[in-house]
Structure 1
């Protein structure tokens, strides 16, 4: 991949095309700038359960919110592997910032892959790139929990106008977002699984808070519940049905991005454990403290976690433009198992880090505290509950054969 890529932007005056360049080598530096700000406010964000406004403002300044938008629409054309690296970096700094970024980029990925060719969605892409709009997600409603493939709320149609009223039990950073991407039944007479995806901007909807967000961890995501009322145009519905969007983009990009954010949290805890073990060993004349074995275990599980994410990224990028492969039972099972296994490994890693640090890790103050990391990462197995995913995979896997060899 070239360090610099030429791109063109249409001028409003004469529609001539002017070349300019994207320096892809700037991505790590731009992400590091956001991570530095996020780390500085992470403790306060957690303590006060407040949105990491300064970090997100810095992400806007660094043009990270539109970084995945294609070059022709004013973005930087960042790839999914590049997005996951950003999630990992931000996860090491502030879990809430990383998860907000991961959720936003999942919505952007849907817009990029499934909105191209639609005038309305292409205009939204340009707005995301130009205005650095923050997109939230509304996929959870009523009593359905994390069952994203079933919707209760339906789109109401009146000619070219549409409306939607949704009991959204969770909309992460909904009050702070500039737009929301939501799923719904196609129409009143549609089955719960016959869904569409629609994008809406802040002037299209109202939010009335129904549930507060007082949680153990991930407090800065501000994932309150709302009644969402939307009025807009049928052009805001994505052209493709949600089942395709879910299989090809929503699930893989979400699980890859979330897992990378969780791996970043785990890495931050291992870094603190390493600093503690080094200090303890120096103070004891080179004698390893009792928690040294747990530090080794933390390093081992972090290595497994990173390797697992990398392997799944390779699989996704190899088949990124193969709709049939992405929709296959084998790939869908693999990418869902990534979410399950990565979330469990991340928790295991942070637990080992805490035990490596002992009381210093258990404390909420001090340089070696791992409490915030543990509370944040404990959200991972229950964010779309692992038990639900495993039950669904078990049912689907009854239709697939057991491999007869190591590599086939």
Structure 2
């Protein structure tokens, strides 16, 4: 206690808005400090994206202050938990939360009581690295040695792990997410924490799918994702977030190794989820547990449709020219030309099969339209009905495989000449 932070990152956050806010609280005899993730980031040498604040002022006292100063409050729906959000000078938002203790917890939500005791507030937080406060002068207020854990690259719960987890079972996933951010060794987990996670994993059953996905999507694309997934399976966590015991850890590790070597081209979280699943039926089951966006669902459906076929194609492409290697992927673009999101989906497939370098050849490739239309077949007296569609599809496959997607008049004539063989 008492150590001070004086870094360029810390000095850089003190703009007019933040200084004004501290002046206001101090003028009204309330304590206010930087809290949570902003402190963690600053102590790690990063400038935080958002600055959350903690105070001894109650929500009612804050509202009175802000009303008197004509400060805009964006919303007060966090008020029962002690949080007021303000916007200063139409430039920056700040979340300010009253110090509190949890009176009643059910593993999902908590009933809180406000307090003036900074240590009691720190004691209710999940991890030691998130339980630190910073004073205006840079003084580090650290009741549970969180700064030491940051310096030593450790992730620990505040106090007794089982108790912290039982207050909110989502903290199990937060443990794994922050492990990937903080630690420098993929296997330096606290055994006491892993034991508590395994003993309490079933509590995740009561957590909403939206909250599960918010955390899990960050884990699957993180540093050490493959190692962390093995711990998630070993501690039985996977069972309670929608996965079966057939989790494909080998496939997941393979895809992880592709992007671990190239952190610029990390797959989307939904792509990494697909790697864990052996079949589309497993995805349908997962849909009942996790809440994905419609676009994520469509990407998953696309990957399940193509991934196995294209893994095989890629494995057999030795000694082929670049054009021949690109051709199967061009066929997808042609077949899905009406899909406005096809390039986004194809990029995820390229990442999945470790051919991301093809993107530059495909993203601006002008997709040709199949040059044979229904009118042409009608002029050749092909009767409408099943045979009409069948012939059109055969010609389309011929165009792709024999005529290399050429749209010249010569190719059209050759395709139409094939009609005699097909009728």
Q: Specify the TM-score bucket, using the shorter chain as the normaliser.
A: under 0.3
If the length of structure 2 is used for normalisation, what is the TM-score?
A: 0.24
- Which gives a bigger RCO, structure 1 or 2 (Cα 8 Å, sep 6+)? 1
If the length of structure 1 is used for normalisation, what is the TM-score?
A: 0.24
Q: Which has the higher strand share?
A: 1
| Higher gyration radius (CA) | 2
